[in-house]
């Protein structure tokens, strides 16, 4: 599984950071989403999917591997 973000679509709500702080952070000056990890360990797959689904700006994209993310 890979995660990408589009800061231009970010609304700075911080929900991604609250959901998966190990993967996402907000910029100090602009509050925009930034990635800490682009390739996730399996333990964080479900949380990353949730963050993508909850994110109001649609700025988070989760790409599953051919084997379902494993």
Between β-strands 2-5 and 60-63, what pairing exists: parallel, antiparallel or unpaired?
antiparallel
pTM exceeds 0.85: no
Cα separation of 8 and 65, whole Å? 25
Domain positions in the chain are: 2-63
**Tokens 């700025």, residue?**
59
Cβ–Cβ < 8 Å for 24, 34:
yes
> What is the fold, at CATH topology level, of the domain defined by 2-63?
Alpha-Beta Plaits (3.30.70)
Structure tokens at 10: 């970010």
Confidence band, pLDDT 50/70/90 cuts, at residue 2: confident
pLDDT score, position 14: 86
pLDDT score, position 1: 85
| pLDDT tens figures, 5-47 | 998 998 888 888 988 899 999 999 999 999 998 788 898 899 9
């Amino acid at each position: 599984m890979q995660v990408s973000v589009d800061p231009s679509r970010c609304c700075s709500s911080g929900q991604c950071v609250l959901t998966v702080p190990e993967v996402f952070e907000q910029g100090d000056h602009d509050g925009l989403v930034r990635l800490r990890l682009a390739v996730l360990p399996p333990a964080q797959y479900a949380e990353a999917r949730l963050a993508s689904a909850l994110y109001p700006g649609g700025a988070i994209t989760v790409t599953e591997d051919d084997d379902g993310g494993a």
